[in-house]
């Protein structure tokens, strides 16, 4: 089992990578997702892959993501800025 961190998970390469992960769950697990400010897609990705960490470049986006995940009981730790470095 390979544990992955996906940088730019909401971009084209990131979403393509996650499609491969989704089709090979016995080979890969997602430990962390990193994105800029696409809260809607990052929320979907966290619901699908349950990463330990989700890091957003934008602080306001991180707060929105944290609220979205808390409202559905997902325990992913959300970080931004220096906290995410």
Domains in the chain and their CATH numbers?
2-84 (3.40.50.720)
Extract the runs of DSSP E, i.e. beta strands, from 1-85: 2-7, 28-35, 53-56, 77-80
Crossing angle of helices 12-23/39-49, nearest 10°?
20
What are the tens digits of pLDDT across the range 23-76? 999 999 999 999 999 999 999 999 999 999 999 999 999 999 999 999 999 999
Q: How far apart are the first and last CA of the chain?
A: 25
Rounded to two decimals, the pTM is 0.93
Give the residue among 25, 24, 74 at the shortest CA–CA distance from 51.
Answer: 74
Tally Cβ neighbours within 10 Å of residue 49.
22
């Amino acid at each position: 089992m390979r544990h992955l961190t996906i940088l730019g998970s909401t971009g084209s390469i990131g979403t393509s990578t996650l499609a491969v992960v989704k089709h090979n769950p016995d080979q890969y697990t997602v430990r962390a997702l990193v994105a800029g400010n696409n809260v809607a897609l990052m929320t979907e990705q966290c619901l699908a892959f349950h990463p330990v960490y989700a890091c957003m470049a934008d602080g306001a986006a991180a707060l929105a993501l944290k609220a979205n995940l808390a409202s559905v009981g997902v325990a992913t730790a959300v970080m931004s800025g220096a906290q995410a470095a």
